[in-house]
Amino acid sequence: MTDSPRGPTWRLLVTEPADGATNMAVDEAVWRGRQAGSSPPTVRFFAWQPPTVSLGYGQPLDRNVDVVACYRLGVGLVRRPTGGSAIYHDGPERELTYSVVASADDLGGAGDLLQTYHWIGRALLRGLTALGAPVEMVAVAVSDAPAPPFCFARTGSYELEIGGRKVVGSAQRRQGACFLQHGSVLLGVDGPRLRTVFPTTRDPLGTLTTLEAALGHRPKFDDVAATLAAAFEAEHGLTLRPDGLTPDETTTAARLVTEKYATAEWLAGPA
């Protein structure tokens, strides 16, 4: 990353692995802050401890995720504030998760969902290509079929594939001009565990791939984070300034953990 500002300044957050409730509460706190004008546009890279299944905002918690197996294996469960389908999130040795919080103005007027996906996807494409992965961006995807319960079972618009298999899965939620987008970048995969927690998905490994498979080695979390940060800067003329959460964001996140994301009511989902 450059040392001298050359464009709009965004915050870069790289946080320690955390449980699902904490990770989602942090992202919502930043999102709320951006809507209020008190938080800067932010790119965040993070991982999960323990490994966790995250459900999409409106996704039912049903037999498509084996809750008993999750508890037996020590896998957490959380519901995201963003949409989409369920993802098994591993620790930093196998996954990098990103979030982007911004407004349409922060993106130079990229106002709707697809434009935002494309804007973020271009940076991810640039970064993964720089790592040596032969990544391709899928064009606008049109399907009348219902969304599968497992995110990596189908590639959406402006998501990324290698050899026709999905390597990054993303989901978004918008309020007014501000949005929060999550995405999972697969460094590696625990195949047996994936099959166990998604029992109704016939072949969860059949539609996905990993950077490890593409590169012949598993890249380290920190290296991927640094490369993706540089790609956001280069692709969009940004300056990413490393920083932490503000005191207000920290307070809001702690409250959201106890009042929302760690509660059985939130996990159960919309009635």
Give the containing element (helix H, strand E) for 168: strand 165-175
List 14, 18, 151, 168, catalytic entry:
151
Question: Phi and psi dihedrals of 191, rounded to 5?
Answer: -60, -50
- Cα separation values, 79 from 181, 256, 257, Å: 14, 13, 12
8 A C-beta contact, residue 42 and residue 13: yes
8 A C-beta contact, residue 133 and residue 167: yes
User: Which residues, 6+ apart, have CB-to-CB distance to 186 below 8 Å?
Assistant: 94, 95, 152, 167, 168, 208, 209, 210, 211
Known catalytic residue at 178:
no
Question: What residues are labeled active site?
Answer: 151
